[in-house]
């Protein structure tokens, strides 16, 4: 359980609301984020059905659900979308997800799709409220065929969904990555198997090139900051993964 302000200027905050405990959501610990600006906010990857009550309890320390002005779903996985039908009983706001997942979402128990916005492949700028702007950026095939990132130019935090995600052992619970070399063992296997290809990585690196990034906030595991941000991006640049490593017979080269 966490509630950490990654950025706080008073009127603008980027908050890691909660990390679900191991054993919940089939043992995948996940992060949910709130960005708050002058009394309104957005949720990033609010999480699966099981964590919803605790994420709501953490949210209420900051905002009432009626002050949520947007929900961003990085991709279609159940650990992100599983709780959305329950959230939408409380939140009257647009829900952003890649356009390619729109027709799959009703299978999460949604009867009414009118709140959903299908994000175009090239991403979009989003004015959440006057003076509260976010950039939705494409990160396709990393790992989902339609993945979106969210960049907050005030906090200088890039929310990356599963890019940078770590599977930490149960006894390890760091909030931040400061030393990338010691963190690498917790991300390497996941990125080699789940990320689609080096080409997808290069396209994404090109997309985020030029952004002023202080922190990279993934959906699982600790948040990258300081020197760990360029070190992670540098490692990713030459990573062979996914179909790069796929061999006939379903095996993967080492």
Segment near Fe ion (CB under 5 A), from 57-65, 72-80, 167-175, 195-203? 72-80
Expressed in angstroms, the distance from the first to the final Cα of the chain is 36
According to DSSP, residue 93 is labeled S
Using DSSP, state whether 132 is helix, strand or coil. strand
Under the binding rule (CB under 5 A), the answer on residue 19 touching Fe ion is no
Closest distance between Fe ion and the C-beta of residue 21, in Å?
16
Is the bond preceding residue 143 a cis peptide, omega within 30 degrees? yes
Segment near Fe ion (CB under 5 A), from 15-23, 73-81, 171-179, 209-217? 73-81
Q: State which of residues 98, 162, 177, 217 lies at the interface with Fe ion (CB under 5 A).
A: 162
Segment near Fe ion (CB under 5 A), from 51-59, 75-83, 104-112, 245-253? 75-83
Under the binding rule (CB under 5 A), the answer on residue 25 touching Fe ion is no
Under the binding rule (CB under 5 A), the answer on residue 77 touching Fe ion is yes
**Which residue's CB is nearer to Fe ion, number 87 or number 132?**
87
Query: Hey, which residues between 202 and 221 contact Fe ion (CB under 5 A)?
Result: 219
Using DSSP, state whether 71 is helix, strand or coil. strand
Query: Hey, which residues between 219 and 248 contact Fe ion (CB under 5 A)?
Result: 219
Sign of CA dihedral 232, 172, 22, 250: positive
Q: How many residues appear in the chain?
A: 254
Using DSSP, state whether 40 is helix, strand or coil. strand
**Which residue's CB is nearer to Fe ion, number 123 or number 221?**
221
- Which residue's Cβ lies closest to Fe ion? 77
Closest distance between Fe ion and the C-beta of residue 143, in Å?
6
**Which residue's CB is nearer to Fe ion, number 20 or number 198?**
20
Tell me which H or E stretch contains 5: strand 4-8
Distance CA 56, CA 37 (A): 18
Q: Which residues pair with 157 in a beta bridge?
A: 152, 215
Tokens of 29: 């610990």
Contacts with Fe ion, residue ranges (CB under 5 A): 77, 162, 219
């Amino acid at each position: 359980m966490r509630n950490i302000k990654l950025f706080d200027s008073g009127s603008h905050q980027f908050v890691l609301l909660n990390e679900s405990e191991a054993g919940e959501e089939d043992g995948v610990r996940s992060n949910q984020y709130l960005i708050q600006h002058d009394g309104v906010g957005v949720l990033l990857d609010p999480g699966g059905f099981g964590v919803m009550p605790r994420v709501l309890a953490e949210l209420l320390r900051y905002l009432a659900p009626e002050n949520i002005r947007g929900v961003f779903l990085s991709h279609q996985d159940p650990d992100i979308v599983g709780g959305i039908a329950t959230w939408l009983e409380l939140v009257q706001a647009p829900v952003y997800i890649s356009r390619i997942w729109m027709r799959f979402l009703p299978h999460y128990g949604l009867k009414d799709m009118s709140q959903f916005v299908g994000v175009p492949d090239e991403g979009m700028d989003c004015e959440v409220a006057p003076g509260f702007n976010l950039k939705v950026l494409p990160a396709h095939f990393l790992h989902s065929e339609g993945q979106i990132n969210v960049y907050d130019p005030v906090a200088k935090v890039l929310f990356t969904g599963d890019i940078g995600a770590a599977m930490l052992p149960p006894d390890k619970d760091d909030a931040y990555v400061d030393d990338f070399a010691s963190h690498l063992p917790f991300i390497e296997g996941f990125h080699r198997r789940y990320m689609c290809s080096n080409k997808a990585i290069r396209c994404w690196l090109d997309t985020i090139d030029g952004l002023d990034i202080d922190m990279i906030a993934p959906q699982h595991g600790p948040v990258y900051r300081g020197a760990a941000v360029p070190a992670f991006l540098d490692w990713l640049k030459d990573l062979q993964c996914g179909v790069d490593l796929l061999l006939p017979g379903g095996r993967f080269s080492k």
